[in-house]
Amino acid sequence: MREWLMMGGTVVWLCAGCGVVAMALFLERALHLHRARIRVEDFLRGVFNILSRGNIREATAICDETPGPVAFIAKTAILHRSDAREALRQALDDASMAEISRMERRLVVIATIAQIAPLLGLFGTVVALSEMIVGIQNDAPLIQSLHVTAPLLKALACTAAGLAVAIPSYAAFNVLIVKIDRIVLDMERAKSELVAFFTGTSSSANNGGLSDQVERKP
């Protein structure tokens, strides 16, 4: 591996550095999203049970202690529980947008690495081939195989390095997007249940909805 990196030159080292950054960001984001995913039904059921007893402070404390955007949205709903339906919905929408922005933080870096890594590899390949052509011109007509094989190996190393970084980076980006989409679906379901609970209307998912399983006290 070290010989391969040395053979490729600066471009291969740049690609390797980009790969390390992408891997570190992927692990950090994956861990963050894993912690953010909770059992939404159980969490909301517990919060609704506490709220039905009129214990606002305990419900807020549970939201603070629970990680993830669903808990933040639940706390936002509690703080805006006296608002009209449209105002409550707007507050939850604003909270959702803020949480989505937090979840997508630094994903643009991984996407950028996935896009520029092949271009870096292509740039290194072009430079290596240019060096080969210049070497052939300078040494013609006495051309040795080393004048051709060494630049070609460098060009191949650059191309391989760019692809080796771009492919897993692109896959990592898509994995994170899927995880975020699942959490967003949980957030949308939680918003519907929270609005239905605080406004006293039936949930859109009337069959099996959490707001139908907990009776609000007047």
Output the average pLDDT for the chain: 84
Pairwise CA distance, residues 183 & 186, whole Å? 5
In a domain, 119, yes or no: yes
Domain total in the chain: 1
The 10s digit of each residue's pLDDT in 74-119 is 999 999 988 888 999 999 999 999 999 999 988 999 999 999 999 9
Q: Is the pLDDT of residue 5 over 70?
A: no
> Which residue range forms the structural domain that includes residue 148?
40-207
Position of tokens 């460098």?
A: 154
The 10s digit of each residue's pLDDT in 183-214 is 999 999 999 999 988 887 544 333 344 444 34
In a domain, 93, yes or no: yes
In a domain, 193, yes or no: yes
Contacts of 73 (CB under 8 A, 6+ apart): 92, 95, 96, 99, 187, 190, 191, 194
Confidence grade of residue 53 (pLDDT, cut at 50, 70, 90): confident
In a domain, 31, yes or no: no
In a domain, 128, yes or no: yes
